Structure 1
């Protein structure tokens, strides 16, 4: 059976949303040509299956609200996934308008002494505040 880059990409997207860069990397690992990869990316974008802005928003929202990761860690993770810097900045701004970050920080540090609280927040990507 002949392999198909679109089917392989859709199989990856079935499990979770992914960045354009992730799909390109995975298809490259599977041995597809640059042309096949570009055609697949164009098809996925046209059909609405691949959208880095939507991916970044969902990733950042879950990271902040479920995993309790701070903005610095989320930015780092999105960069690692190959999301463009302007998309990352827009996403973080939008998320910080929608979510009460102070409440998340209070939840994380409840009952901790100030030094331990600062260390935890720093490790989680909330900066040194």
Structure 2
């Protein structure tokens, strides 16, 4: 069976939403040419399967609410996934308006003394507040 970059990309997207950079890197690692990769990325964007803004929002929301990661850590992870800084800031702003961060911080530090709670929050990517 002939390999197809679009099928490979769709297979990756079946498991979770991904950034453009992630798709590019994965397709390149499978041996596809730059031209094949760019055509595939363009096709995926046209069909709405690849959207860094949607990806950043969903990643931020899940990281904060499910994985209890702070904004600093989320920002770093998205940057490493190749998402544009403006998109990252926009996603963080939207999610932080929707989610009660204080509740999350209380939830993950329950039972810790103040010093340990501050250290733990800092390690989880919440600022030193």
TM-score norm. by structure 1 comes to 0.98
Residue number in structure 2 paired with 1:117: 117
Mapped to 1, the partners of 2:120 and 2:127 lie a distance apart of 10
Mapped to 1, the partners of 2:31 and 2:118 lie a distance apart of 46
Residue number in structure 2 paired with 1:26: 26
Mapped to 1, the partners of 2:58 and 2:115 lie a distance apart of 32
Residue number in structure 2 paired with 1:4: 4
Mapped to 2, the partners of 1:59 and 1:88 lie a distance apart of 10
Any residues of structure 2 matched to 1:1-129 within 5 Å, and which? 1-129=1-129
Give the secondary structure class of the aligned counterpart of 2:105.
helix
Mapped to 1, the partners of 2:99 and 2:45 lie a distance apart of 28
Mapped to 2, the partners of 1:17 and 1:97 lie a distance apart of 22
Query: Alpha carbon RMSD of aligned pairs, Å?
Result: 0.5
Give the secondary structure class of the aligned counterpart of 1:32.
coil
Mapped to 2, the partners of 1:86 and 1:21 lie a distance apart of 16
Give the secondary structure class of the aligned counterpart of 2:83.
coil
Q: For structure 2, list consecutive stretches of 5 or more residues without a partner in the other structure.
A: none
Deviation for aligned residue 1:110:
1.3
TM-score norm. by structure 2 comes to 0.98
